[in-house]
Amino acid sequence: MKTKLTLLTFLTLLTFVGVGCLPKSVPQQTIGTSHFGRLVGGPVTESSIKGGWVRPHPGAFWWDQIEKEKGQAYDWSVADREVSYWQERDQAILATIWPYAQWDQDSCHPKDPKVKHPFGEEMIKMYSICHVEPFQQWVRAITERYDGDGIDDMSGLKYPITHWEIGNEPDLQTPELTFFQSGAGAYAEIFRLAHDEIKVANPNAKVLFAGMSGISTSSVAYWRGVFFTERVRGDIGNIHSISSSDQFFTKEYSDFWKGVGRENKPFWVTEALVGSLDVNWDDDMKAQKTFTGYVNAFANGAEKIFNVGKNDPTGGPGEKAEQTFELLVKTIGGFDTVERLSEHTVKFVMPKQTVYALWNGATVPENIEGKVDVVFYDGTRRKLKVQDVKTDKPVFVVAK
């Protein structure tokens, strides 16, 4: 993700939002139940998805922002503010651990070149870890502070952070943007160290691999190197798609995920941006692609998807697409199961109803008769006889 605002800027924005924007509280047990989330930070400092997720990007969990010097007492002030902010808004937090401290990097990478900070203008190093034990202690301390067990917890913690992501796009190492400067084996070792400490502090926590930066030959090769490294465990896979794939690379990643022996584990899309690098879609087409993109991604096996939207430097796909995203959240956000019935028909079983997504001329399933509630991709709602439902453009058909 190419957002350039610094963490300080993000927290400044939070300060000016104010408590007046707080949504109504939701039952705590529903937090994190939605299949949708938002990338937040930078231009996007709000999310009102009921039971939803946020992925603060970059977030406050940088090693040297908390342990500013080796052995120095941890400074939790920034991280606590971020956690409190999203907990006041009843959002489940996917927290990214950034395993970089410049005092650590300088220890065993003194002559290695620096790269531009992915979220700032300064030059930094992002190589393998030098001080293993301090890193392990820091990861365990973070997990313990936010695990909600009553031991060394943050004051005022409302509910635990249960999901941790280790780094971001380590395979993306270009002159323009770099998130890691070492090879697959080095990332695998960082992941192993963090994973094991998180599980010691909170055995119920789930640990995500960093997002693969799309499906390219180099990215696939890098991640094969990660997954075929001995002793690398992990709970959830992760793919990113920024204006590159109609279905957020979920079909390709599902095949890759199975190919590295992880078919029994879920995967998420923690950065999803509708758009095309090759075709200039108008706003209405972007809205339609938003509908079919998320629906297809879930049908392809994605468990949760985080919308980048306005957080992208381009400004996102536009207001119509945002409205369609909100419609998707409200209509299928809490589905229990998803099943692809045909290329253009996907069935979502909800707690109290079944919702069919149809497009490109697909017909309503034969078992549905009479009148049905039809929700069009643009939010228009009508009650129609089954035979009158037109699906040349995307619609939801709601069957009680």
pLDDT at 17: 41
Is the separation of the CB atoms in 217 and 231 below 8 Å?
A: no
Distance CA 90, CA 357 (A): 28
pLDDT at 19: 40
SS3 62: strand
Secondary structure, 3-state, 175-220: CCCECCCCCHHHHHHHHHHHHHHHHHHCCCCEEEECCECCCCHHHH
pLDDT at 277: 78
Distance CA 240, CA 248 (A): 7
pLDDT at 18: 39
What is this structure's pTM? 0.94
pLDDT at 24: 58
pLDDT at 231: 79
pLDDT at 22: 56
Q: Give the neighbor-by-neighbor strand order of the sheet with 53-56.
A: 206-209, 163-166, 92-97, 53-56, 36-40, 302-307, 267-273, 237-242
CATH, domain range 7-334: 3.20.20.80
pLDDT at 88: 97
Is the separation of the CB atoms in 346 and 357 below 8 Å?
A: yes
**CB under 8 Å to 142, separation ≥6 — which residues?**
61, 66, 79, 97
| DSSP code of residue 90 | T
| Amino acid identity, position 378 | D
Query: For residues 284-320, b (16+ Cβ closer than 10 Å) or e, as one string?
Result: ebbbbbbbbbbbbbbbbbbebbbbbbbbbeeebbbeb
pLDDT < 70 stretches in the chain: 1-24
